[in-house]
Each structure stands twice: as C-alpha cells, then as structure tokens.
A and B are shown apart, each in its own frame.
Chain A
C-alpha cells in the first residue's frame, strides 16, 4: 500500500513549502530533501519487494473499471526509482545553482510539483488521470524553464508551452476517441475491449497518441521545442527535463500504450523504427555543429531517445531489454552532462565551447565526471552506454533489420566525434582561466560523483544474475499484455 504516497508526498511537500516558507529558502530545502529521500527509499523498497506487495490500489475505495486505480508493476517501479534518483541529485545540485539566481522558495515548490506529476504519470492506471498528471508536470516544467527571468528563457518557455498545448489537445482528442470506442478509461479495460473495436478506429487512435506522446518524447519530426527549452532552462532543470521528463511523459507512456494496451501492432512498430532511426541520425548531425554546450547536449537527447524508440520498435525481448536499459543509462549520463555544463557555467559564466579552455586543473571533479559521461554516451566499453547500444544493435540484426543497425552504429560514431569536440575545446583547450566566478560546492560535487559512479555500476546490470532481478521483470511486464489485464482487472471483474 505504498503506492498513493508517491503522489501524496511530493504534493504535501510542495504545499507545505508554500505554506511555511517565509522569505528564505531554508525550510523549503529541508522539506524537499525530506520528501525526496523518503520517496527514493520507498521506491527502492518497492522495487526490491515487488513480488510480495499488493499491486492495484483503488483510489477512494472504488474498484478498477469505475474508479481510478493506481498500478504497481516492475515497469512503473523501475521508472519511479529512476525519477526519484535523478530528482534527488538534481536537488543537491540546485541549491548552490539556484541561490546565485535568487533566494526563493518558489523554485522548490515547483520542483516538487514536477516530481508529483511525473510520479503520478508513472503509477496511474487510468488514461485521463495520466493526462492530468502529465499537465501538472508540464505546467511546472514551463514555469521552471522560465525561472532565470532572461529573455531567451521566456521565449523558450513560450515555445515549449505552445507546443505542449498542441500535443495535449491531440492527446485529449485521442482520449475522446478511445472513450467513445471502448466506453472506459481504465487502461487495462481498454486493452481488453480494444480487439473487438473496428481496426480502422484503432489505427486512428494510435496515430493520435503517437503524434501526441511523440511530441512529448521529442522524436524527430516533433523535436523543434526541445533544444530551446532544454538549453535555456537552469542546469538542474535541464537535467530533469532531458534525463527524466521526456521519458516519463513520452517514452514510458508509449511503452504502456503501444505494448500493454494496443498489444504492439505491426504498423506502429514500423513507424517507431523509422522515427527512431531518423532521430538518431538527424539529432546527432544537428548536434555536431553546435558550439553552445547545453544546446549540443539537448540535440543529443533527441538522438539518444531515437535509440530507445528503435529498441521499442523492434518489439523483440532483446530489443525491449536494450530500450529499457538505455532509458536508465541515458537518464544517468545525460543528467551528469547537464550538471557538468551547469558547473562550468557557474564557474566561467559561459556555455560557449570556444570560450572554455583548460579546465582539467581548475575543476578536477567536473572534468573527470564529464569524461566518464562522454565515454558513456559515446558507447566506450566499460561504461553503461556501450552495453545498451550493443544490445539494441544486436537485437536489430537478429530481428532482420541490418539497415537500422547500421544507422545506430553510424549515430554512435558521430556521437563519439561530437563528444571528442566537447572534451577537446571544453576541458582541454588552450585558454587559461585564472579568476573563477565561484567554485562548485560540496553538494554539487557529490551529485556529479554519485552519477559518475552509477554510470560505471549500472553497466553491471547486463550480467545475467543482476539482469534477472532488475531488467528482465520490466521486459516481461512490457511484453505481457494479458498479464497486465489480468493483474488490474483480476479482482474487479
């Protein structure tokens, strides 16, 4: 029965922050830390004991097809661990970074609302409830992108909010069609009724959801808002958006809808393959020419999401395994890279690679962890990115798509080239810097070191013994549509 607390705790923290915090941010930071640490402990506890706990929670005592239910399975617990882990490190990083913008509690209240929305999307088993939680997360994300009060941030936030409004309307129309076709909003019930519905209508619903959630996940034709929003936001928020938000709102929902509800229809899998390959190659081509460090990282997010979509589109157990593994890995190393960019921005006051230079001596922790993250994202063997990309490429060849495997390899090589540029100009360049604006504090270094260690440790998840405990249950949930229906509707129907 730990399930509702994933939504209650961050909401309670956010409201108490608005109620109790006066002018200063001390209370806000304490409350946010307490809430996030307990959330992380709860989610890890849930993941470890997931075979014993009850799995479906009926809100306000109404059972599944009538009321709203929350569902706890391996996929949602996996996402919860990921969200709350990145959120905790992001909070560690935030304190110093936000204090040099303003000393205000509003940031922390919005941050907790963002967490509440993402946790809610992941735990809910109801289509419209998912939409509501998605909007909670998005509205707080719009406000947080504009938090720095500069013109480019307002502009990025406006663009993001308009694109978010467009995709939300598309999703709402999709929900309307789904409700009219199946007369239910519980995901498991929809999955049960959907095979009896006219296949053309299912195609139409799927297309609406693919467009809506594809916009949220920023796959290639729908990517225009991402580089602006993710590069303009404050660094800890960039890492939350790039590392977690596009996965919780985009990729996770695509997994849930297209596998557990629609049952992996072949035409959408083909589409996902093409979208994935397009995102990989075009994202990395756009990234390689950038000189703004955070913008370069934002374009790489598009490309890395492409790998996840490619693995998803293969729809074989190995492909899904690679996609889920890459989901976690990308959250770890992309958040770390954004922290590095934020730390450099704090020290030098610039994000331009040409103006950086010899930072290895000045910032040993930042440059060391950025080396780890760069090697991870480019797929160099001992680090986690190598294994997940390898699994996806092997799966593509096994499934009979050698062309897509070739695109994935090409994307990986170009990623390596682009991060060699980052290291060459950003951390081992010629310009000497003698007068840093401020030095990163202990909590900032702690956040970066934690993620760097996790980047190495998570590659152990590919070993058979650990994989059976962590990744395999998630893959089972994704591929087992009837199991999902039975789990949610089993007692109620």
Chain B
C-alpha cells in the first residue's frame, strides 16, 4: 500500500521538484531572463499573453488533430494492405522507408508551392510525419497472425479478407494503439513546423514572430503551452489504448 502511494505521488514530486530547482538556480546564479527565464517569469508570461496563446494553441490543436486523423485513417488502410500482402509489402517498403527518411521540414516549401500559405501545409506536414509508425505497426500486427490460426480458418474456407478482418485487425490493435502514442507527438512536431514556415496563425507562427522580436518570455510561454497540450493528447491516446485493448495488457510487466 505504501509503495502504491509513493508511485502515485512520484510524478508530482519529481515534476514540482524540477521546476523548484530551476527557479532556485535562476535566482541563485542570477541568470539573465534573456538566456533562461525562471519558471515564475514564464508562468507570468503565460498569464499575460493568455488570450493570444489560447487562440494560437487552439489553431495548433486543430492542425495537429486534423493531420493526426488523416494519418490514422491512411495508416490503418495502408497497414492493412501491407500486412495482408507480402508482395505489396516487399514492393513498397523501400519507397516508404525512403520517404520516411526525408526530414519533413524539407517538404514544407513544396507544400507551400502547391497549397500556398494557410492551414493546408501544417495539416499535411503533421499527416506526413505521423503516418509511418501507424503503417508499420498495423502491418506487423496483421502479418504476424499465428500460422495455426490461419490454417484453422482456411480449412473452413475463409478468404484472405475474412482472416484479415476476423483475426489480423483485432490482433493488430495493441500495435496500432502503441503507435498512436508515437504518432500523436510526431503530428505535433509536424504541425508546429508547418506553422513556423507556412502559416499566419498557430503556436509555431507565434514562436517565429516572438523570437524575431526577442520576446524571450513569450517564446518560453509558447513552449510550455505546447508541452502541456502534448501531455494531454498523449494521455488521451494512452487512455484509449488501455480501454480498447485491455485483453493485451494482462502481463505482470504491464501492471
């Protein structure tokens, strides 16, 4: 019971301790707020710029969720195709890996040529950066169906499609939800990059403008807002994972 309480408290203690240490160091070493503002200064900036931050944060949230939603839909579809056909999998793998290795910042200018400055580039960047882990995980889940299970169903006259939908897809769900946690953080990176380079609104754009004007506390405040949003979205996907695939998390390791 005691260890359980300690476990529940530990995240709070460590987080608060981290910021307290930061605050103390800033004051003791008299670090200029231009280099590293103290948490209290940042918090104050968050409050001061709250309407601006909230407006831009909502925009970023939208861009991220739109890109992430596209990535989930496309990733599931492509993952299912790759997982059920070894031929397509082998054929497209080099292309996919090659595409995934391109830093997505480098793609933003092309997106601007195509779609102009606005909401499309951030959404597209978020999508492009986050679909890959979903594809790979879903494909792995489907491709690793036990051969015995496949035999049982094929001997009954099951089609490839039956096997994919009855066994492959449900079996891939733990992999899928695991990849969502990676994808949501990546989508965030994508939308902020997109906004920095090709948008007039959003936290990314706010960051660009604030740093150009040397408004250091605002830059830090924007970062804090990003971190908080990121944690919340990660928590939501983690919760979805637990509630959808409880059957897969019965090991002692997961407890």
- Whether both chains belong to one complex is answered with no
Could you tell me which A residues sit within 8 Å of B by CB distance? none
